[in-house]
Amino acid sequence: MTTPQTLLNSILDNDFYKFTMQHAVIKLFPKAEASYEFINRGDHKYPEGFAEALRYAVAKMASLQLSKEEKTYLQTTCPYLDPTYLDFLQGYRYDPEEVAITQHGGILSVKITGYWYRTILWEVPIMSLISELYYKMNQLIGHTDNEVVETARRKIEKYNALGVTIAEFGTRRRHSYHTHRLVVQTLRRFGTKSFIGTSNVHLAMLNQTKPIGTHAHEWFMFHAAKYGFKMANNLGLQHWANVYRGDLGIALSDTYTTDVFFSQFDKMFAKLFDGVRHDSGDPIVFANKTIAHYQEKGVNPLSKTIIFSDGLDYEKVEHIALHCKGKIGISFGIGTNFTNDVGLSPLNIVIKMTEAHPDDAYWTPVVKLSDVKGKYTGDQKMISLSKTILGITD
């Protein structure tokens, strides 16, 4: 059996929005359950013994725990996280029994089930382990450390010159932990004019920078299971505002298409939230819709920010920045292009919530309807039902 040379060595080696959502779930939905499944969009074939190696890595995660130093970092950096939550996180341990990993030939299956407040932390680290193991077990050797550093330095200096702000969002499909750590160190060192932080809390702490993130699609997907599709965006945003009282104010827009989102993003939300995140579809079309929406609500678009985070590279960022200049605030979250640009093809994989079990209810399939039809995820009957209820035609 081949095992990863670098297992996860911090419970904070995860995206920040997993912790902010976990905090909110504990407060609002402590009895809710959830299921997640691995989706192999790229039809990658996994070598013999891959499931065994992944189970070994997942089992090792049970020993991770929040250190006193990490707890102090969160207390200082994220004062909106309740002391009771930080105490909970200090006592939290991953339970590998929540994760079922099997393999048939080259086909990998990963399913996660349990209380939502617990299972919410699994997605990102498991994806990062799948990615790192894939390269190691297939003996795919990428760039040297010096080449990784030089590539990251060259990129961030171009963003410095462009005059935009950049955050690193690449934990889940990174080449390896080692590569990721080198990249963030380089961005921090050379991105003095543009680099504002990373979504990875562990690496944010190591590099004395800011963890970046708010919420993910699963937040609104659960709300649809509990309250219905028409209320999912509205109550998802309302509950987020009730928990964070003005902090973490970037709203994710495309769980049920941007058009449906803006039909429900009324003047109160437009003023209350600092901005919106773009994660699918044409970024220029999205920018124009966002600017028009703020103007219609009597809100100055220049007082708000769009966070663009959909498969970005320098050319896309430059195109978006030139279009939006002087019209609305912008920032960019760049993932795989930073953390897996080592001369190998990145994996096209995701792990998504597939079912939710709200308090005193029943297991309900959940779906995501992004602004790209091919990226719809979930049960086909539920996708059709959601489109009918929300009036989505294509």
Chain-centroid distance, C-alpha 125: 11
Full-model pTM: 0.96
Average pLDDT score, the chain = 96
Residues 32-47: what's their mean pLDDT? Answer: 97
pLDDT in tens, 120-168: 999 999 999 999 999 999 999 999 999 999 999 999 999 999 999 999 9
What 3-state DSSP class applies to 148? Answer: helix
pLDDT in tens, 49-84: 999 999 999 999 999 999 999 999 999 999 999 999
- Which two three-digit tokens encode residue 176? 């390896």
Apex 274 CA angle, 271 and 275, nearest 5: 100
Bridge partners of residue 355, in order along the sequence: 35, 365
Where in the chain are the domains? 16-141+347-369, 145-339
Q: How, if at all, do strands 275-278 and 195-198 pair? A: unpaired
CB atoms < 10 A from the CB of 373, how many? 8
% of the chain residues with pLDDT over 90: 95
Type of residue numbered 91 = G
Is the CB of residue 116 less than 8 Å from the CB of residue 140?
no
**Confidence band of 5 (pLDDT split at 50, 70, 90):** very low
Superfamily classification of domain 16-141+347-369:
nicotinate phosphoribosyltransferase (3.20.140.10)
Dihedral sign of CA atoms 7, 3, 39, 286 in order: positive
Q: What pLDDT, on a 0 to 100 scale, did the predictor assign at position 353?
A: 98
- Which two three-digit tokens encode residue 149? 């550093």
Q: What pLDDT, on a 0 to 100 scale, did the predictor assign at position 374?
A: 64
Domains 16-141+347-369 and 145-339 share a fold: yes
Residues 91-98: what's their mean pLDDT? Answer: 98
Query: What is the CATH architecture assignment of 145-339?
Result: Alpha-Beta Barrel (3.20)
Q: What pLDDT, on a 0 to 100 scale, did the predictor assign at position 355?
A: 98
Q: How far is CA 119 from CA 10, 32, 57, 68, in A?
A: 17, 11, 17, 23
Q: How far is CA 25 from CA 33, 91, 236, in A?
A: 10, 17, 11
Q: What pLDDT, on a 0 to 100 scale, did the predictor assign at position 2?
A: 45
